[in-house]
């Protein structure tokens, strides 16, 4: 099994254990809070497995909440894909999907409360002026000229902002905290701004929208979240998270805990950059099988179990690191090795004729669907005197290390007979067009009677029964391990990340379901592509090779 089933242990779970032991909490409530501004990627999977996994293991709950405070960049398409991806990973959220926008009324009320307490003010400075007055890491900021506006005026101005009396950028609402704080996020952060745009959930009801830092903590508190897990870049913002909750009249105060994001070699992880790949046409879409999106990885043939296992294997810490692609690949390889049915496919065919096999005849051979799992059953494999084998599985001459078919020598055909190569036919260019063989009819499912040893095994498909198929051989999308640091994506894109070949499949694959995974014996793991526009045409994606050809030290399995 790909999943070890061992309950992961990490510093966050230890904090939760302590909180339950001390009685600070009796239940655990987490949430996964994506912004619907793109498709989820494998980094989000880490956060999903963490949040939903904790809820599962502690008999708690996990909410799915869309952090939808920036209507300009968000869309319903993304909302739908995110819901689909979370479910596909095997999780169900607690109750209805939530939206930060569900709380716009409450958030507005809390903003008014801060104004009434003298803790927020309407600032008519421009964005540039606010930035200039903010100071730097080494220099303190300066107070805005609007910082001491009276409560009454602030209330009236915020009401005008809300009513749509001002154009975008004319003013904003800022929390009044401390312009000399060593945390820049505490230097009177903007908490509301004007945006005259429709929102995908609230339509044209609002023209002021709360900022992320103000929204997130209050949304967590409204939902009675106990542990608010986020990535390390929000570490400083924890001060603001706590400040807001301490200064409004709300009971619940979730604990924010930060962990390091997932970084993966040979890929990029920001939605903005992934969008560039799509827009610039480097890939066919968000679900291109080379994309690190959940949609892409799914189409590539990864299973939900393999991704959950990956998330658990990499663990959760506060240390920044970069995970090797091989870790992800070995998770799917192990899963498919155990669970994918076997089939035969020839990707670079050369014709092989068995001259002593009855001409025009064929037979059906029983072949196991899995070498060690009998419960997966058997299938009927048609065999005939004309086969395709892999061109690279034959040589006219070779040394002993080449355990495949050599002129004058024997090899076993997988699931079938022992054959011997007798002679070849070539075209004018000197390429082999046909290999002529004889077969030993007494070797089906058994060794040769005279005890001679046949060491090699090669795969094949019967020419009259073969199904032509388009096979997509995917490789890494980037040729450097850290493509995110390149100035332009063009510099680091691997030009050979997709090779399309016309191969031949055994006929049982006619019934492969879109998305279904197989091991093409001796070739790799493949799944039938899910793009409906292919119709009946057989298109298969390579999920992963049988062995890690990129591994620097040695293959991992
Ligand atoms: P991106 O930069 O890719 O858009 P984001 O952090 O802006 O990422 P959100 O939709 O805001 O994306 O993220 C939802 C949740 O997923 C957040 O809690 C965030 O911390 C977490 N998350 C995002 N990227 C990663 C990652 N690489 N590793 C772990 N968690 C992540
Ligand atoms: Mg974001």
Angle at 551 between CA 550 and CA 555, to 5 degrees: 115
Question: How far apart (Å, rounded) are the C-alpha atoms in residues 348 and 47?
Answer: 41
Looking at the structure, do residues 455 and 374 belong to the same domain, yes or no? yes
Q: What is the pTM of this model?
A: 0.94
The per-residue pLDDT for 73 is: 85
The per-residue pLDDT for 93 is: 98
Looking at the structure, do residues 153 and 31 belong to the same domain, yes or no? yes
Three-class SS string for 203-262? ECCCCEEECHHHHHHHHHHHCCCCEEEEEHHHCCCHHHHHHHHHHCCCCCCCEEEEECCC
**Which CATH number goes with the domain that contains 371?**
2.40.240.10
Q: What is the pLDDT of residues 83-123, one digit of tens each?
A: 999 999 999 999 999 999 999 999 999 999 999 999 999 99
Q: What is the pLDDT of residues 517-538, one digit of tens each?
A: 999 999 999 999 999 999 999 9
CB-based contact 61:182 (threshold 8 Å): no
List strands edge to edge, sheet with 190-194.
120-123, 172-175, 190-194, 208-210
Which segments within 428-479 are labelled E, that is strand?
A: 432-440, 457-458, 460-462, 467-474
In a domain, 5, yes or no: no
Q: Which atom of ligand 1 sits closest to the CA of residue 270?
A: 3
**Residue 261 catalytic?**
yes
Is the beta carbon of 46 within 6 A of some atom in ligand 1?
yes
The per-residue pLDDT for 551 is: 53
**Residue 117 catalytic?**
no
Q: Which of 194, 225, 259 marks a domain boundary?
A: 259
Looking at the structure, do residues 297 and 423 belong to the same domain, yes or no? no
CB-based contact 160:187 (threshold 8 Å): no
Looking at the structure, do residues 176 and 36 belong to the same domain, yes or no? yes
Burial status of residue 185 (CB atoms within 10 A of its CB: 0-12, 13-18, 19 or more): middle
Question: How far apart (Å, rounded) are the C-alpha atoms in residues 325 and 459?
Answer: 29
* Residue located nearest, by CA, to atom 22 of ligand 1: 44
Flag whether pLDDT at 509 surpasses 90.
yes
Residue 151's domain spans which residues?
A: 11-259
In a domain, 266, yes or no: no
Catalytic residue among 83, 134, 261, 522: 261
The per-residue pLDDT for 1 is: 45
As residues whose CB is below 5 A from the ion ligand 2, the structure lists: 35
**Which CATH number goes with the domain that contains 319?**
1.10.1160.10
Is the beta carbon of 528 within 6 A of some atom in ligand 1?
no
The per-residue pLDDT for 5 is: 66
Residue 493 is given by DSSP the state: B
> H or E stretch including 110?
helix 104-116
Question: How far apart (Å, rounded) are the C-alpha atoms in residues 313 and 50?
Answer: 12
Q: What is the pLDDT of residues 217-274, one digit of tens each?
A: 999 999 999 999 999 999 999 999 999 999 999 999 999 999 999 999 999 999 989 9
**Residue 300 catalytic?**
no
Q: Summarize the confidence of residues 195-213 as an average pLDDT.
A: 96
Looking at the structure, do residues 303 and 350 belong to the same domain, yes or no? no
Count of structural domains, the chain: 3
Flag whether pLDDT at 201 surpasses 60.
yes
CB-based contact 523:347 (threshold 8 Å): yes
Looking at the structure, do residues 58 and 71 belong to the same domain, yes or no? yes
Pocket test for ligand 1, best of 49, 83, 231 (most atoms within 8 A of CB): 231
Is the beta carbon of 36 within 6 A of some atom in ligand 1?
no
Rounded to the nearest 5 percent, the helix, strand and coil shares of the chain are 30, 25, 45
């Amino acid at each position: 099994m790909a999943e070890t089933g061992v309950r992961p242990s990490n510093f966050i779970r230890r904090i939760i254990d302590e909180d339950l032991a001390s009685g600070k909490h009796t239940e655990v409530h987490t949430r996964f809070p994506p912004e619907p501004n793109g498709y989820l990627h494998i980094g989000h999977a880490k956060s999903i497995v963490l949040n939903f996994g904790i809820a599962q293991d502690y008999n708690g709950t996990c909410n799915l909440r869309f952090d939808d405070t920036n209507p300009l960049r968000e869309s319903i398409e993304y909302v739908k894909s995110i819901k689909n991806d979370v479910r596909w990973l095997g999780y169900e959220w607690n109750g209805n999907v939530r939206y930060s926008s569900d709380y716009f009324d409450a958030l507005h009320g809390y903003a008014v409360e801060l104004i009434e307490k003298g803790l927020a003010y309407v600032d008519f400075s421009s964005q540039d002026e606010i930035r200039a007055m903010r100071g730097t890491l080494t220099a303190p900021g300066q107070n805005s000229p609007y910082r001491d506006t009276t409560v009454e005026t602030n209330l009236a101005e915020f009401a005008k902002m809300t009513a749509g009396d001002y154009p975008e950028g004319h003013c904003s609402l800022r929390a009044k905290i401390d312009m000399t704080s060593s945390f820049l996020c505490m230097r009177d952060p903007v908490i509301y701004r004007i945006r005259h745009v429709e929102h995908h959930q609230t339509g044209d009801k609002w023209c002021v929208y709360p900022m992320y830092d103000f929204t997130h903590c209050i949304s967590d508190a409204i939902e009675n979240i106990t542990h608010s897990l986020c990535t390390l870049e929000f570490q400083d913002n924890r001060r603001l998270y706590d400040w807001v909750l301490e200064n409004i009249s709300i009971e619940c105060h979730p604990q924010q805990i930060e962990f390091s994001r997932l970084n993966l070699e040979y890929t990029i992880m920001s939605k903005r950059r992934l969008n560039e790949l799509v827009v610039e046409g480097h890939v066919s879409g968000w679900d291109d099988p080379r994309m690190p999106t959940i949609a892409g990885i799914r189409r590539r043939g990864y299973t939900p179990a393999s991704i959950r296992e990956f998330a658990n294997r990499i663990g959760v810490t506060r240390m920044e690191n970069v995970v090797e692609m091989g870790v992800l690949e070995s998770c799917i390889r192990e899963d498919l090795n155990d669970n994918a049915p076997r089939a035969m496919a020839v990707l670079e065919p050369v014709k092989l004729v068995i001259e002593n096999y009855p001409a025009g005849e064929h037979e059906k051979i029983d072949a196991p669907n899995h070498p060690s799992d009998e419960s997966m059953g058997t299938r009927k494999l048609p065999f005939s005197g004309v086969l395709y084998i892999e061109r690279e599985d034959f040589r006219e001459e070779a040394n002993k290390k080449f355990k495949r078919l050599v002129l004058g020598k024997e090899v076993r055909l997988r699931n079938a007979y022992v054959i011997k190569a007798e002679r070849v036919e070539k075209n004018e260019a000197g390429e082999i067009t046909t290999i002529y063989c004889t077969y030993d009819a007494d070797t089906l499912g058994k060794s040769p009677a005279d005890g001679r040893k046949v060491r090699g095994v090669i795969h094949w498909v019967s020419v009259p029964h073969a199904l032509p198929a388009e096979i997509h051989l995917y490789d890494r999308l980037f040729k450097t391990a850290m493509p995110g640091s390149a100035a332009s994506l063009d510099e680091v894109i691997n030009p050979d990340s997709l090779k399309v070949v016309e191969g031949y499949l055994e006929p049982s694959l006619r019934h492969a379901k879109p998305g279904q995974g197989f091991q093409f014996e001796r070739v790799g793991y493949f799944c039938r592509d899910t793009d409906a526009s292919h119709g009946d045409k057989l298109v298969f994606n390579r999920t992963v090779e049988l062995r890690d050809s990129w591994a620097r030290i040695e293959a991992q399995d």
